[in-house]
């Protein structure tokens, strides 16, 4: 059964019309970076903690750890580094490679979205409807 989108939909000849897609980067072990993994990295940067980042995403700590472990194994440079406690407790932070990966992912996402928007406009021209209202 297709997923229902909360996204605003356009209609062409009575049919919802808006090119959509998802973006991810495959690595040697399968998915390396995708939307969920990028949000996890952003939350680690925000909270300085894997457990807080996972909690904010309603994700188990183990699942978050497994995702981070997978990303770090597939990257030539670690994306996240952890540090043990002391008087301030432990934590995690993105490395420079991690920050660059997040930045590049969103840059590619923006280009991908522009492509989808252009293709939606072209489809509407072909089918006789004005440009997209996206």
- Separation CA 20–CA 63 (nearest Å): 27
Q: Which residue's entry shows tokens 């440079």?
A: 77
Query: In tens digits, what is the pLDDT along the chain, a chain of 134 residues?
Result: 445 555 455 554 555 578 899 999 999 999 999 999 999 999 999 999 999 999 999 999 999 999 999 999 999 999 999 988 766 678 999 999 999 999 999 999 999 999 999 998 888 888 765 544 44
- Separation CA 80–CA 73 (nearest Å): 11
Structure pTM?
0.78
Identify the structural domains of the chain with CATH numbers, from first to last.
28-101 (1.10.10.10)
């Amino acid at each position: 059964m297709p997923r229902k989108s909360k996204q605003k939909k356009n209609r062409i000849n009575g049919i919802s019309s808006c090119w959509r897609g998802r973006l991810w980067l495959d690595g040697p072990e399968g998915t390396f970076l995708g939307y969920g993994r990028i949000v996890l990295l952003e939350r680690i940067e925000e909270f300085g903690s894997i457990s807080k980042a996972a909690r904010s995403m309603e994700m188990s700590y183990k699942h978050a750890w497994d995702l981070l472990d997978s990303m770090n194994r597939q990257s030539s440079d670690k994306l996240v580094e952890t540090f043990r406690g002391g008087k301030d407790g432990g934590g995690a932070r993105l490395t420079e490679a991690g920050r660059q990966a997040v930045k590049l992912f969103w840059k590619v996402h923006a280009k991908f979205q522009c492509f989808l928007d252009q293709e939606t406009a072209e489809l509407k021209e072909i089918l006789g409807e004005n440009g997209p209202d996206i």
